């Protein structure tokens, strides 16, 4: 199978896919007093499991439709590869493509991981009940699987097929991913500063996840990295200085960040053949 599409059609398709993903969450859904859905209402959470499933079915159909759109001489064609490889569903390097991205992500979170080890992991302090269980399913399973499928599996191959460079593909998909997440802040009625922060860190993660997909050629790495990041949450930078082992924790934060930057930079410069991704040449 070849992906033949013009750059402009590829960008429009990515935007449309991002928009339909968000639209599926809101069309004819239950609302609370302010007229927007309460995303933490158990009924809404269950509804949205089904809704993102619908979005995941629609996304590849939109991508397929874009390949049938006449676009003249500007159309480019990607490599002739099996569909499962275009979508990042399978490759003989599946295990290494799962372990390496997760290990790299854990390195980035070295500071929080060391903090957890020093403080002691306290699973009994986690919230219990139906809502807590549903939120864990949403954050650790449904969310990562659905978002990586739509924003990586159905976008990055299309951008590659349109002739975009690695960097351009990462940037475009990251902006679409970040834009598709700012609705959470509007739901909560947060100010524009909070919206900007939400857009920034989700776009940064989107860029990282797109890099993992293009680098490994498979979805498993981005999915595991996404799940791990959702589990860890944003690092508590403010608590470093007041921690009982502040020097150790601060050193772990710095070492993890430097190690992460060095490894990603060296990988981008030397581009070693570690995986079988045809997206990464």
The model's pLDDT over 9-37, given as tens digits with 9 standing for 90+, comes to 999 999 999 999 999 988 866 565 556 66
pLDDT at 145: 98
Instruction: Kindly name the residue from 81, 128, 148, 181 that is annotated as catalytic.
Output: 181
Cα-based distances in Å from 247 to 107, 232, 234: 18, 21, 20
Structure tokens at 210: 């797109």
> In which band, very low, low, confident or very high, does the pLDDT at 67 lie, cut at 50, 70 and 90?
confident
Integer-rounded Cα Rg, in Å, for the chain is 20
pLDDT at 102: 98
Task: Report the distance separating Cα 11 and Cα 15, nearest Å.
Answer: 6
Judged against a pLDDT cut of 90, whether residue 247 lies above it is answered with: yes
> What's the pLDDT tens digit per position in 152-196?
999 999 999 999 999 999 999 999 999 998 876 666 666 778 788
How much of the chain exceeds pLDDT 90, in percent?
A: 66
Cβ-Cβ contacts under 8 Å for 96 (sequence gap 6 or more):
274, 275
Does residue 130 have an active-site annotation?
no
Q: Which residue has the tokens 């930078």?
A: 237
> What's the pLDDT tens digit per position in 99-146?
999 999 999 999 999 999 998 876 545 667 888 999 999 999 999 999
Q: What is the DSSP string of 162-222?
A: TT--HHHHHHHHHHHHHHTTTHHHHHHT--HHHHHHHHHHHHHHHHHHHHHHHHHSSSHHH
Average pLDDT, the chain: 89
| Contact (CB, 8 A) for 1 and 86 | yes
Task: Report the distance separating Cα 24 and Cα 61, nearest Å.
Answer: 15
Task: Report the distance separating Cα 276 and Cα 218, nearest Å.
Answer: 9
Task: Report the distance separating Cα 122 and Cα 208, nearest Å.
Answer: 29
pLDDT at 27: 80
Q: What is the DSSP string of 242-255?
A: TSTTHHHHHHHHHH
Task: Report the distance separating Cα 106 and Cα 232, nearest Å.
Answer: 10
Q: How many beta carbons lie within 10 A of that of residue 51, not counting itself?
A: 20
| Contact (CB, 8 A) for 173 and 152 | yes
Q: What backbone torsions phi and psi does residue 76 show, to the nearest 5 degrees?
A: -120, 160
Task: Report the distance separating Cα 193 and Cα 52, nearest Å.
Answer: 28
Cα-based distances in Å from 258 to 200, 209, 212: 20, 19, 18
Task: Report the distance separating Cα 163 and Cα 10, nearest Å.
Answer: 10
pLDDT at 122: 65
Least confident of 109-113, 203-207, 270-274: 270-274
Cα-based distances in Å from 272 to 33, 81, 213, 277, 280: 54, 21, 15, 11, 10
Q: What backbone torsions phi and psi does residue 131 show, to the nearest 5 degrees?
A: -65, -45
Q: Which residue has the tokens 């989700």?
A: 202
Does residue 184 have an active-site annotation?
no
Instruction: Kindly name the residue from 81, 147, 183, 184 that is annotated as catalytic.
Output: 147
Judged against a pLDDT cut of 90, whether residue 76 lies above it is answered with: no
Q: Which residue has the tokens 């991704």?
A: 277
> In which band, very low, low, confident or very high, does the pLDDT at 75 lie, cut at 50, 70 and 90?
low
């Amino acid at each position: 199978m070849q992906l033949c599409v013009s750059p402009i059609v590829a960008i429009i398709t990515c935007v449309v896919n991002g928009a339909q993903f968000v639209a599926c969450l809101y069309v004819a859904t239950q609302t609370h007093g302010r007229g927007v859905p309460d995303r933490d209402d158990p009924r809404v959470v269950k509804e949205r499991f089904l809704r993102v499933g619908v979005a995941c079915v629609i996304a590849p159909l939109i991508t397929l439709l874009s390949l049938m759109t006449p676009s003249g001489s500007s159309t480019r064609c990607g490599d002739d590869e099996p569909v499962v490889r275009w979508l990042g569903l399978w490759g003989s390097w599946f295990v290494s493509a799962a372990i390496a991205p997760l290990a790299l992500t854990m390195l980035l979170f070295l500071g929080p991981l060391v903090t957890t080890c020093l403080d002691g992991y306290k699973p009994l302090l986690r919230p219990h009940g139906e809502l807590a269980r549903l939120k864990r399913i949403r954050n650790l399973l449904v969310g990562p699987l659905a978002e990586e499928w739509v924003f990586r599996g159905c976008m990055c191959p299309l951008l590659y097929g349109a002739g975009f460079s690695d960097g351009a593909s990462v940037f475009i998909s990251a902006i679409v991913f970040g834009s598709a997440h700012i609705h959470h802040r509007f739901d909560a009625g947060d100010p524009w500063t909070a919206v900007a922060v939400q857009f920034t860190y989700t776009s940064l993660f989107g860029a990282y996840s797109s890099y993992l997909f293009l680098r490994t050629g498979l979805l498993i790495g981005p999915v595991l990295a996404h799940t791990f990041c959702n589990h860890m949450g944003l690092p508590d930078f403010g608590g470093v200085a007041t921690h009982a082992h502040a020097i150790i924790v601060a050193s772990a934060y710095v070492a993890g960040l430097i190690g992460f930057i060095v490894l990603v930079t060296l990988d981008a410069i030397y581009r070693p053949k570690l995986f079988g991704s045809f997206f990464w040449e």
